Amino acid sequence: MIGSIIISFALLFNIIAMIMYYLNFKGYNNTISYARIFFHLTSIFVIVASSFLWYFILTHQYQYKYVYSYSNNSLSTGLLFSSFWGGQEGSLMLWILFTVIVGIFLQSYASKRGDLEPRVMSVLTLALTFLLVMVSPWFKNPFEIIWTTPIFVELKSINSNYLSLPFLQQYWFSVPQTNANFIQVSPALYASLVQNGIDPNTFIVNGRGLNPQLLNFWMQIHPPVLFVGFAMATVPFSFAVAALMKNEYKEWVSQSFPWLLAGTGILGLGIMLGGYWAYEMLGWGGYWAWDPVENSSLIPWLIGVAAIHTMIVQRRSQNTSGGIGRFAKTNLILSILVYILVLYSTFLTRSGVLGDASVHSFVDPGMLVYLLLLIFIGSFTLLGLGLIFYRWKDLQSEVPNDESLLSRELSLFTAAVTLCASAIIVFVGTSAPLVGRSVDISFYNEMHIPLAIIVGILNGLSLLLKWKITSTQELLSKSVIYVSISVVLTALLILIASITDIMMVLLALSSIFTIIVNGEIAINIMKRNLDRLGAYVAHIGLAIFILGVIGSSAYSKEQTLNLVKNKTVEAFGYQMMFTGYEPIENGSKYAFNIKLTKDGKSYNAAPVMYIAEFNNSLMREPSIIVLPTKDIYLAPLSYDETGHHNHSENLKIEKGKSINYDNVIITFENFEMDDDVMKAMQEGRDFQLGASLVASLEGKNFPFKLFRKQVNGQVEFTSYESKDLNLRFQLVNLSTQGVELKISKLDEPIHLTTDKSEEVLVVNASIKPFIGLVWIGVVIVVSGFFIAFSRRLKESF
């Protein structure tokens, strides 16, 4: 109850703050202090609500549906903290929390800059209103009480003291196939409990917990960083709309710039942390799979980076020619798009429209949320782009574009256009599921290789060009040295790494060119002014990143290995030996130890497999050996104690049921049991259990019997061969669940348990050359963003 009340109040206060800010913008001077009070009240209430959610999770208050659904008693404190954003409701709450924190800083920033505050803050509070409505008690409320709508709760989650209550039978459900038992928790049960004097809050004592794929370190880092990026995207939008409200386009650029830099820096970091998570823990094999959910946060990032480049031009031309500067409209549109695309990303991932297209599963949120999200996107698009349309005439008064073709202005603009082109490609591909289509990964890759080459060239070229105009001669004489060094280095690279693909050669060349040009400038600047390093650092980082991408994806090698225990297999020049497995993490998982040796050096890898209780599925975690020039990536596939039993198939048949195998109907009719089997079993004497079956083909019936024999403690299974059917039926297992048969064709060789001692671990081994450059590149890019941020923050005063 308390959580919902706090959220409702936060929403109310926020609406008041929004109205007060707007009235202040409209000229009511006395409303500003109320607006501030109510905004800060909103912030406090949101922070308190979030603290309550954390408190409820940490103290296992399973009467809250969210706490029950995404946490349990066995999670560590760190993971309990991250249960906060384990589901939809909580991740919305996290987004709101960060938007509010960003809002607090923004309010303080804006209040020092003239009449900026009421405009910027009325936009931010408007966004906050939509977000708060989404977590309000009518929509995706994280504080929903579990008793309000019927939900099935597993027996193990229920206080065992109450299981004997007679009225509980009414709410008891069991699934026959799996023998799982559930209690339907519902308002009716709540009433029954209260009637019998039982505190309903003590009824549920454990939760369902998190999906095992989320149970690791990166779950605690990646989502929050991403959501800080999302929250910060509100700011450029707010500044752009604020400028349009006032119809004044000069100041907002330098005011918004540091926010945009910090926001895109953090968003980029968040995206790549997700990539690292996927690579290191989830065993997806790579850091980027062009999954719609990954893509949808990449699109706003690309647009944000494009905006950074055109904003530099606008600021520059404001200083040199006065007026509002070049690309005023472009910058407004891009800044607005950043947030709209963040909302679109949310829509794609949360509305259920991606359904089958993404590995990130989200529940269908219901029609109301779907509509609300559409209204959210619709009204923000209308507000932002509508205002630009409304002000279009006033925006025409920009500086005449007097720069020449060979100018830094135009090359920065071209860079922005290239980034937008990339964003459009990702947008089209990612939105394809909306029309029932999906694009192959090759669509993204083929389109992006030429774009990445252009980006590489521009990253170097734009810095060789001067503002306004550069003579062709000057450019040529300046660039000849850089180009020749780059060509020599690329040639060396081609020789060493034997790169033959022309596109990869060009990509490597353009990246090396970027590094040489930016590196030289960076070294020169470093002596004078560290502040100005941001752009060069980011560009060098990007080029290093691209070199890493070339190495790790275009030159990655992959092989599936069958590692027989204690036998050496050679792959990629390494001697690999599976030495056995051991339980880890209190026996919940198994580590499969592999010893690798090469040139007398040895390395140990231990990929992990386990059956997750949460979803009763086999889960796998890769093991990575990080070497200076490459990663050796070992993803486990399967572990087999007998080696071969794969060439024929296992069929399970329940008693009284039939199964179709190659048009042969096989029916398991009955168990064959001697009278003293039970007694024999209990006494540990030898016994046999049988099954009578009938195989029928085209009306002909072939009855047969199979036995499970226990002789001197050893279990044996019999088989039956039928020449008429050309089939051999080997009993594999017989239990109360039914029979399990292995059926094979008589004229095909059979591989039964020939060598019982053989233990085989199957792994997918791959070599990822220079993947380390990807991570190093990302770190350098992000630090570039922050160096630029600190410089532009100083300039914004």
Partner 1 sequence: MKNKYIFGGIMIVLFLGIMGYLFTQSNIKYENNFALVKSTNKTVKATGSWVKEKSYSYDSGNNLFQFYMKDQNGIEMRVVYRGAMPNNFESASSIVVTGSYQDNYFYAKEILTKCPSKYQEQQKSTSM
Cα–Cα distance measured from residue 317 to residue 327, given in angstroms and rounded to the nearest whole number: 10
Which is closer to partner 1, CB of 433 or CB of 548? 433
- Contact between 233 and 256 (Cβ < 8 Å): no
The length of the chain, given as a count of residues: 797
Which is closer to partner 1, CB of 497 or CB of 762? 762
Which is closer to partner 1, CB of 118 or CB of 433? 433
**176 contacts: CB under 8 Å, gap ≥ 6:** none
As given in the structure block, the two tokens for residue 94 are 């996290």
As given in the structure block, the two tokens for residue 455 are 């980006």
**In the complex, what is the shortest distance from the CB of residue 187 to partner 1, in angstroms, rounded to a whole number?**
15
How many CA atoms, within 13 angstroms, populate the side-chain half-sphere of residue 463? 21
**In the complex, what is the shortest distance from the CB of residue 145 to partner 1, in angstroms, rounded to a whole number?**
16
Cα–Cα distance measured from residue 141 to residue 144, given in angstroms and rounded to the nearest whole number: 6
**In the complex, what is the shortest distance from the CB of residue 407 to partner 1, in angstroms, rounded to a whole number?**
12
**In the complex, what is the shortest distance from the CB of residue 213 to partner 1, in angstroms, rounded to a whole number?**
7
146: burial class by Cβ within 10 Å (0-12, 13-18, 19+)?
Answer: buried
How many CA atoms, within 13 angstroms, populate the side-chain half-sphere of residue 158? 21
383: burial class by Cβ within 10 Å (0-12, 13-18, 19+)?
Answer: middle
Which is closer to partner 1, CB of 531 or CB of 640? 640
Which is closer to partner 1, CB of 661 or CB of 786? 661
**In the complex, what is the shortest distance from the CB of residue 281 to partner 1, in angstroms, rounded to a whole number?**
11
H or E stretch at 673: strand 664-673
**In the complex, what is the shortest distance from the CB of residue 616 to partner 1, in angstroms, rounded to a whole number?**
6
Binding site for partner 1 (CB under 8 A): 69, 87, 150-152, 173-177, 182, 211, 213, 282-283, 355-359, 361-363, 405, 421, 424-425, 428-429, 432-433, 436-440, 442-443, 446-447, 560, 562, 615-620, 637-638, 640, 644, 646-647, 649-652, 659, 661, 760, 762, 764
Which is closer to partner 1, CB of 432 or CB of 697? 432
Q: What is the dihedral of CA 110, 114, 115, 117, to 10 degrees?
A: 10
Distance of CA 313 to the CA centre of its chain: 34
Decide: helix, strand or coil at residue 397: coil
Which is closer to partner 1, CB of 662 or CB of 795? 662
**In the complex, what is the shortest distance from the CB of residue 356 to partner 1, in angstroms, rounded to a whole number?**
5
Q: For Cα atoms 557, 559, 565, give the angle at the middle one, nearest 5 degrees.
A: 135
Which is closer to partner 1, CB of 493 or CB of 609? 609
Please provide residue 268's backbone torsions phi and psi, each rounded to the nearest 5 degrees.
Answer: -60, -45
Which is closer to partner 1, CB of 613 or CB of 795? 613
**594 contacts: CB under 8 Å, gap ≥ 6:** 563, 576, 577, 578, 579, 604, 605, 606, 607, 623, 634, 761, 763
H or E stretch at 14: helix 2-25
**694 contacts: CB under 8 Å, gap ≥ 6:** 666, 667, 669, 701, 702, 703, 704
**In the complex, what is the shortest distance from the CB of residue 659 to partner 1, in angstroms, rounded to a whole number?**
7
- Torsion 134-135-137-142 (CA) sign: positive
**In the complex, what is the shortest distance from the CB of residue 176 to partner 1, in angstroms, rounded to a whole number?**
7
**In the complex, what is the shortest distance from the CB of residue 693 to partner 1, in angstroms, rounded to a whole number?**
16
**In the complex, what is the shortest distance from the CB of residue 83 to partner 1, in angstroms, rounded to a whole number?**
14
